[in-house]
Amino acid sequence: MAMRKVRVEDAVGMVLGHELTKIIPGEYKGPAFKKGHIIQPEDIVHLKNIGKDHIFLFELGPDELHENQAALRLAQAVAGPGVTVDVPSEGRANIKAAVNGVLEINCQAVTAINMTGNLALATLHNRTMVTAGATVAGAKIIPLVIAEQLICQVETTARQYQPVISIKPLKNKRVGVIITGNEVFYGRITDKYAPVFAGKIDNYGATLLGIVCQPDDSSLIAASILAFKQQGADIVIAAGGMSVDPDDVTPDAIRSTGAEVVAYGAPVLPGAMFMLAGLDGMVIMGMPACGMYSRTTVFDLVFPRVLADIPVTKADLAAMGHGGLCLFCKECVYPHCPFGK
């Protein structure tokens, strides 16, 4: 790259070869002048106000790329299904969610790409719930000009790991809910679990087939699970009665349906007594009582993955122990917090 330094007073009529950034602390950070701008007499005072007494004009070599060209190619190389790439600016191209869903990041690929040097690929945490339009990653070129060979290297790496960044969309699955417990069934207390599930199922874009109550009777709970299966449920949630207390029979009821238990117990707080099982393609989730009073629980980590057809294994649940501690913040900002990451 050939570059020459020119006083701003002498630059009128010249074409700016790179973007110049303007920063107003706490208010604005962005391009003051874009690449290709023709310097005008009235620009001189603005250039000086952003600390530019000189500008640099450069010519690209045959094997070099401008930062914006390179950022676009980097972003396109890692963008998989469910995301879009923004127009680059100041050497950065943002990658955004095209759908509501679960963000999937190939962490090994991100590390390998960032080992290339002179560029940066920064993402949200893997398995974060995102909404359409949200920025999920940024592809940034550090120098104004970069060797095209490095970008070609990144593109080769990305192909080896594809997809690097993708989003599994949430599907509108049919969900049946069973509230268990003698105290609710016989009207001794008012149930507070049903509205929680109804709200979450709606928020995640699924369809509620119905909510039924059953006493602490394994056979009746099992019958309700099978009845929802007959109605075409994709997911059944059996809430309550999940502890090791002898009166809590929900785990036995789930097993008695013939379901294959993936795991009973998860290293997530709140939600340690969670059960995950499968019955001929239908997912069964045994939810402990914590879901009534805790805004975010193991349910919010597992349910979106089930809606997105992401398999959840015993090993996946075990891995949730890293980041599986909710701190019950005064103002909950999940999923933009460490929980479940």
Q: What is the pLDDT of residues 199-246, one digit of tens each?
A: 999 999 999 999 999 999 999 999 999 999 999 999 999 998 887 776
Q: CB-based burial of residue 172 (10 Å sphere; 0-12 exposed, 13-18 middle, 19+ buried)?
A: exposed
The predicted structure's pLDDT at residue 279: 98
Question: Which pLDDT band holds residue 161 (cuts at 50, 70, 90)?
Answer: very high
Question: Does residue 15 have a pLDDT over 90?
Answer: no
- pTM of the full structure: 0.84
What is the 3-class SS of the chain, one letter each residue? CEEEEEEHHHCCCCECCCCEEEEECCCEEEEEECCCCECCCCHHHHHHHCCCCEEEEEECCCCEEEHHHHHHHHHHHHECCCEEECCCECCEEEEEECCCEEEEECHHHHHHHHCCCCEEEEECCCCCEECCCCEEEEEEECCCEEEHHHHHHHHHHHHHHCCCEEEEECCCCEEEEEEECHHHHCCCCCCCHHHHHHHHHHHCCCEEEEEEEECCCHHHHHHHHHHHHHCCCCEEEEECCCCCCCCCCHHHHHHHCCCEEEEECCCCECCCCCEEEEECCEEEEEECCHHHHCCCCHHHHHHHHHHCCCCCCHHHHHHCCCCCECCCCCCCCCCCCCCCC
pLDDT digits 0-9 by tens, 71-96: 999 999 999 999 999 999 888 999 99
Q: How far apart are CA 252 and CA 106, in angstroms?
A: 38
Q: Locate CATH 3.90.1170.30 in the chain.
A: 64-168
* pLDDT given for residue 30 in this prediction: 72
**What CA–CA distance (Å, rounded) separates 208 from 205?**
10
User: What is the model's pLDDT at position 280?
Assistant: 97
CATH architecture of 174-319: 3-Layer(aba) Sandwich (3.40)
At 58, the pLDDT band (50, 70, 90 cuts) reads: low
* pLDDT band at 309; cut points 50, 70, 90: very high
Highest mean pLDDT among 34-38, 241-245, 313-317: 313-317
Q: Selecting from 2.30.29, 3.30.420, 3.90.105, 3.10.129, what CATH number does the domain 2-59 have?
A: 3.90.105
**What percentage of the chain exceeds 70 in pLDDT?**
96
Segments of the chain assigned to CATH 3.40.980.10? 174-319
Specify the pLDDT at position 1: 57
Compute the radius of gyration of the chain from its Cα atoms.
27
Task: Classify domain 64-168 at the CATH topology level.
Answer: Aldehyde Oxidoreductase; domain 3 (3.90.1170)
Least confident of 21-35, 181-195, 235-249, 297-311: 21-35
Q: How far apart are CA 311 and CA 170, in angstroms?
A: 13
**pLDDT value of residue 227:** 98
Q: What is the mean pLDDT of residues 264-288?
A: 96
Compute the mean pLDDT over every residue in the chain, rounded to the nearest whole number. Answer: 91
Percent of the chain surpassing pLDDT 90: 67
